[in-house]
Amino acid sequence: MAAKEDLYSKILPRRLRQNRAGSMKCSSSLDVLLSMGFPKPRALKALVSTGGRSVQAACDWLFSHVDDPFLDDPLPREYVLYLRPSGPLQNQLSHFWQQSRITCGKNKAHNIFPHITLCQFFMVSYISSHCNAMKQTSNVRAGDAASPRASKVHVEPHKKQLHVTLAYNFPSDHLPSLEKLAKGIEVKLGCDWLAVLFSRDIRFANHETLRVMYPYVPQNDDELELVPGDFVFMSPVDQNSTSEGWVYGTSLATGLSGLLPENYVSLADESDTWVFHASHSFFSCEASDKASKDRGLFDGLLDSRRPDSTSPGDTPSLSLICHPMQVLRISGGHSRQPKRTLFVCRHGERMDVVFGKHWLSLCSDSKGRYVRSNLNMPPSLPLWGAQRDYDMDAPITVFGSTQARLVGEALLESNTTIDFVYCSPALRCVQTAQNILKGLQQDSKLKVRVEPGLFEWTKWVCGSSMPAWIPPTDLAAAHFSVDTTYRPLIPVSKLTVSESYENYMSRSYQVTKDILSDCKNSGNNVLIVAHASSLEACTRQLQGRSPQSAKDFIQVVRKIPYLGFCSCEEQGDTGVWQLVDPPILPLTHGPNHSFDWRETLLQE
């Protein structure tokens, strides 16, 4: 046991996260896990396997792997350091990835996101922290010796000129189409190159990665339970004795292995299961200038070597698509993304959901004035008075405001530019949009356009009349950043209670199309802040897909949490839109019930 503990302590990348309050090391997470009773080797392995994100992530990993036969196996992980673009250039590369996949099908390059290879995967004998690992390996250049100072990490540097490979291992007849797509990449767009550190489980390095599409409950002891969203690793060697239509694989979520129906999974990208550990801006401004003079950092090559080619020299590179470029840094908030993108976001946590429909009585004094009775209630409410109908138009909680700011901050960190913001007239949506803009540091520049047509399905409205929403002029008087000159596409008078499902889907689709049409020549990115149902209603028909049944629609809506976020990109000038990965991570939180110290601590 001591040997295992020592090994994991050596390969544990101790995450160093900078924030306004200072820095926090992963060692504190280890202390918490140990205090919870987890054995040190398992705690260390959980932190390594989750990138040291949080105690909660490590706990979830441990609980899900409780039956994993390899839970106490001391095998180290493999690490790799890539140079990854962010900002407008990254968006164009991602567009090439998607279009080439649609036009020509998947090729080998699709297994990993767009990147510059700095080194090969390496085994780690000791990394004291992410920062040290990044510093030690960031000096690796093509042709340099792999000898990081004061380190036992052996890194094999990439021998070729630094470049982004756009495609390889594709049929030769696909080359003209790929070249045409590649020539559309504008390589002089602003870009901040980030060094990113990933790791993977060494056991599955040569396995196929499959994504679980449908749930499956085992019927026999040798079968594997499937949960949508999980990944399964499959080795061709293990398939010799399986029955037709069945494969043998290992679950990423649980570590368990077994047989599974082949038609319940689909092929996924290799990098989908990699664990992210840290990122670091690879260049200072001075370093960028020097590097651009020394060599071109982006030579996008189309390599038509067939899958059976084994040597880089078998077939020479056929086309130099992109000329050497100077590494440019994005000046925050002023660069434009080259493609039109629609972001749709649900509002933050509601007061009436947390404190019940009679929440007003909990925070009103004898004279009817608002007085918070819980820290999760906002210090004040906008325009508190007789004309407000908070019973039907509840505000968000303090935590709801925090959720929204986190989303805005994440958008800012990802260099995502928002050109227009539209929101439902519900107060919870207006407040959420305002706080997202605060996180984006755009609350004094961007004005929110309040659009009644974005309100949720009115069948869900309680009572016989629509809510009495706060008018934009009153919102502006209460210091909300709203556009008081905006004329709604669908006025409040056109909304009726208990509309049909078909009418709601038609309304949402039409108002979304009109919004995108109005913004077409003025900006690329539109953010809609509305309801859980809006993520489906505002994007489904935009993709050319027919509305699903009302029953299936409700099941989808139930799965969308507060601040659920999706991205939809326009595919060229075809008028077709497609859902893509959002530029920010998802936001997960757990319930926290009201605590009464008297009832709990004074009980006999």
How far, in Å, CA of 159 to CA of 145, rounded? 10
Whether 482 is in a domain gets the answer yes
Q: Exposure string (b/e) for 494-526, b if CB count within 10 Å is 16 or more?
A: ebeeeeebeebbebbbebbeebbeebeeeebbb
Q: Which run of H or of E encompasses 209?
A: strand 208-212
- Give yes or no for residue 594 having a pLDDT over 80: no
How many CB atoms lie under 10 A from the CB of residue 583? 21
- DSSP secondary structure, 480-544, as one string: --B-TTPPPSS-GGG--TT--HHHHHHHHHHHHHHHHHHHTTT-SEEEEEE-TTHHHHTTTGGGT
Looking at the fold, whether 350 and 493 belong to one and the same domain comes out as: yes
Looking at the fold, whether 438 and 509 belong to one and the same domain comes out as: yes
pLDDT for position 425: 96
> Are the C-beta atoms of 85 and 191 separated by less than 8 Å?
yes
Render pLDDT for 501-518 as a digit per residue (tens, 0 to 9). 999 999 999 999 999 999
Q: Please identify, among 39, 65, 91, the residue that sits at the C-terminal boundary of a domain.
A: 65
Looking at the fold, whether 167 and 250 belong to one and the same domain comes out as: no
CA 9 to chain centroid: 29
pLDDT band at 528 (very low <50, low <70, confident <90, very high): very high
Q: Which of 234-238, 332-336, 347-351 has the lowest mean pLDDT?
A: 332-336
How far, in Å, CA of 117 to CA of 41, rounded? 32
Q: Exposure string (b/e) for 407-446, b if CB count within 10 Å is 16 or more?
A: bbbbbbeebbbbbbbbbbbbbbbbbbbbbbbbbbebbeeb
Whether 468 is in a domain gets the answer yes
Whether 1 is in a domain gets the answer no
Return the structure tokens found at 533.
């149902």
Q: How far apart are the first and last CA of the chain?
A: 43
Count: domains in the chain = 4
**pTM attached to this predicted model:** 0.49
Whether 148 is in a domain gets the answer no
Q: Please identify, among 283, 307, 328, the residue that sits at the C-terminal boundary of a domain.
A: 283
Render pLDDT for 240-254 as a digit per residue (tens, 0 to 9). 766 778 999 999 999
pLDDT for position 437: 96
Looking at the fold, whether 401 and 480 belong to one and the same domain comes out as: yes
pLDDT band at 604 (very low <50, low <70, confident <90, very high): low
CA 468 to chain centroid: 35
pLDDT for position 574: 63
How far, in Å, CA of 83 to CA of 267, rounded? 25
Looking at the fold, whether 210 and 233 belong to one and the same domain comes out as: yes
Looking at the fold, whether 363 and 495 belong to one and the same domain comes out as: yes
pLDDT for position 282: 53
Render pLDDT for 535-548 as a digit per residue (tens, 0 to 9). 999 999 998 889 99
Whether 178 is in a domain gets the answer yes
Return the structure tokens found at 279.
């990122």
Looking at the fold, whether 428 and 520 belong to one and the same domain comes out as: yes
How far, in Å, CA of 364 to CA of 373, rounded? 9
Mean pLDDT of the residues in the chain: 78
| 336 assigned ligand-binding residue | no
Looking at the fold, whether 413 and 362 belong to one and the same domain comes out as: yes
* Residues with Cβ within 8 Å of residue 299, at least 6 apart in sequence: 161, 162, 163, 164, 320, 322, 324
pLDDT for position 172: 87
Paired residues of 201 in beta bridges: 77
Q: Which residue has the higher pLDDT, 315 or 64?
A: 64
Query: Which segments of 13-68 are extended strands (E)?
Result: 17-19, 22-24
Looking at the fold, whether 422 and 498 belong to one and the same domain comes out as: yes
- Give yes or no for residue 2 having a pLDDT over 50: no
Whether 150 is in a domain gets the answer no
Looking at the fold, whether 246 and 360 belong to one and the same domain comes out as: no
Tell me, what CATH number does 230's domain have? 2.30.30.40
Order of all β-strands in the sheet with 301-303:
165-168, 301-303, 319-320
Render pLDDT for 171-215 as a digit per residue (tens, 0 to 9). 888 888 888 888 888 777 767 778 888 889 888 888 999 999 889
241: domain range? 206-283
> DSSP label at 2?
H
Q: Exposure string (b/e) for 107-139, b if CB count within 10 Å is 16 or more?
A: bebbebbbbbbbbebbebeebebbbbbbebbbe
Tell me the catalytic residues: 346-347, 531
pLDDT for position 28: 77
- Give yes or no for residue 144 having a pLDDT over 90: no
Looking at the fold, whether 414 and 540 belong to one and the same domain comes out as: yes
Render pLDDT for 14-59 as a digit per residue (tens, 0 to 9). 333 333 333 344 457 888 888 888 898 888 888 888 888 788 888 9
Looking at the fold, whether 263 and 379 belong to one and the same domain comes out as: no
Q: Torsions phi, psi of 572, nearest 5?
A: 65, -145
Whether 543 is in a domain gets the answer yes
Whether 586 is in a domain gets the answer no
Tell me, what CATH number does 429's domain have? 3.40.50.1240
pLDDT for position 92: 80
Q: Which of 284, 64, 85 is nearest to 193 (CA)?
A: 85
Q: Which of 536, 534, 549 is nearest to 501 (CA)?
A: 549
